[in-house]
């Protein structure tokens, strides 16, 4: 099997870093980018000075100010962030065309066949970090590994402004010590279930055979078996295709009950229809979905195969989702899971040869 060379690059507190770069008077002060507290805003990101107080992304701005009364909150400048992101992408393309952006501030690069630096992924990552700092005056962290799963973990290993490398020979020992909640796809619920089974590290997970894990976790059990051994065959996807279209709103006052939530649906669906109309013909609506964030910041998402996309179908889906919490609601979202017709056509051609 050919060993791949994957780099995961992740900008350090990206939005905040650009704000501090463009306004040096902000440097060294607790800073967050997000919505204002008096409009029930949420923190998008914050610098490390703010994180020292416990401020985190997705936190309510009001709560962040309670943790850090001196916190400066500035409004996002999305166009400025997009412009910097494009410049970073241009640097990436000097080393490889196999780039999978995950967001404005992070991406996977497959440099397995890159001719630069005699094919050394470590030296390529080091040079990317140098150029981003010199040209754009922000820092990025990078992880180098034989696959995407490990490269992403590695990029976080020495944050901020760090580089960490996991060579093929180091994979087995490195993964053995990993807590299972570091595994790709393991969320809070799965981590808790693994803990109840006495599995807290990948070394302990290796004691379970594949069949036993499939019995406990369904299809995801097979992936758990592979990740515990550092196996991840996912390729870097250069053609990023939409999986969903959605629209959501955070309300200044909590919606107290299901009826008040249902009353918001027509407006949300009207905006969703506008966004759907902008899609090209290579997508087909697959499943409707709703998202609810309750007043205590717990949230749930529900989708249903075979359901319609009319108001009544979304009302039914919203009712089922609301019943999971039955609490006042601060955010509502509606969306559509998409079926990629172009992907289906390409698969058919592949098997027709």
Q: Hey, which residues are catalytic here?
A: 106
What are φ and ψ of residue 348, in 5° steps? -60, -40
Q: Measured between alpha carbons, how far is 102 from 108 in angstroms, rounded to an integer?
A: 8
User: Does 207 belong to an annotated binding site?
Assistant: no
Task: Output the CA torsion 195→199→205→208 (10° steps).
Answer: -100
22 known ligand binder? no
- Distance, CA of 290 to CA of 65 (rounded, Å): 30
Question: Cβ distance 112 to 130 under 8 Å?
Answer: no
Pull the structure tokens for residue 70. Answer: 């001196």
**How far is Cα 135 from Cα 249, in angstroms, rounded to an integer?**
37
Q: What does each C-alpha distance from 56 to 44, 61, 82, 319 come to in angstroms?
A: 8, 10, 22, 31
b (16+ CB within 10 A) / e for 74-90: eeeeeeebeebbeebee
Specify binding-site residues for Mg(2+). Answer: 10, 105
Specify binding-site residues. Answer: 10, 105
């Amino acid at each position: 099997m050919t060993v791949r060379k994957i780099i995961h690059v992740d900008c350090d507190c990206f939005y905040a870093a650009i704000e501090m770069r463009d306004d040096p008077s902000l440097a060294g002060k607790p800073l967050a980018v997000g919505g204002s507290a008096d409009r029930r805003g949420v923190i998008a990101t914050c610098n490390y000075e703010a994180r020292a107080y416990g401020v985190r992304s997705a936190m309510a701005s009001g709560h962040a100010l309670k943790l850090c009364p001196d916190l400066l909150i500035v409004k996002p400048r999305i166009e400025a962030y997009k412009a910097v992101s494009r410049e970073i992408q241009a640097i990436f393309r000097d080393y490889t065309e196999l780039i999978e952006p995950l967001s404005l501030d992070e991406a996977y690069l497959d440099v397995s066949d890159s001719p630069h630096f005699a094919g050394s992924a470590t030296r390529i990552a080091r040079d990317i970090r140098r150029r981003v700092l010199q040209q754009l005056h922000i820092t990025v962290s990078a992880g180098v590994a034989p696959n995407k799963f490990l490269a992403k973990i590695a990029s976080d290993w020495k944050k901020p402004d760090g580089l960490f490398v996991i060579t093929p020979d180091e994979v087995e020992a490195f993964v053995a010590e990993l807590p299972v909640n570091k595994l790709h796809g393991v969320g809070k619920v799965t981590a808790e279930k693994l803990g109840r089974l006495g599995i807290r590290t990948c070394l302990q997970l290796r004691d379970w055979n594949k069949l036993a894990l499939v019995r406990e976790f369904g299809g995801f059990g097979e992936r758990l078996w592979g990740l515990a051994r550092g196996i991840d065959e996912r390729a870097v996807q250069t053609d990023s295709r939409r999986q969903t279209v959605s629209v959501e709103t955070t309300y200044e006052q909590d919606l107290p009950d299901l009826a008040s939530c249902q009353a918001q649906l027509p407006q949300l669906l009207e905006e969703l229809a506008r966004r759907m109309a902008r899609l090209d013909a290579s997508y087909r609506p697959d499943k409707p979905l709703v998202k609810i964030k309750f007043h205590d910041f717990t949230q749930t998402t529900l989708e249903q195969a075979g359901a319609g996309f009319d108001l009544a179908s979304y009302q039914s889906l919203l009712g089922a989702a609301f019943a999971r919490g039955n609490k006042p609601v601060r955010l509502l979202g509606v969306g559509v899971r998409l079926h990629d017709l172009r992907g289906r056509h390409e698969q058919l051609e592949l098997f027709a040869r």
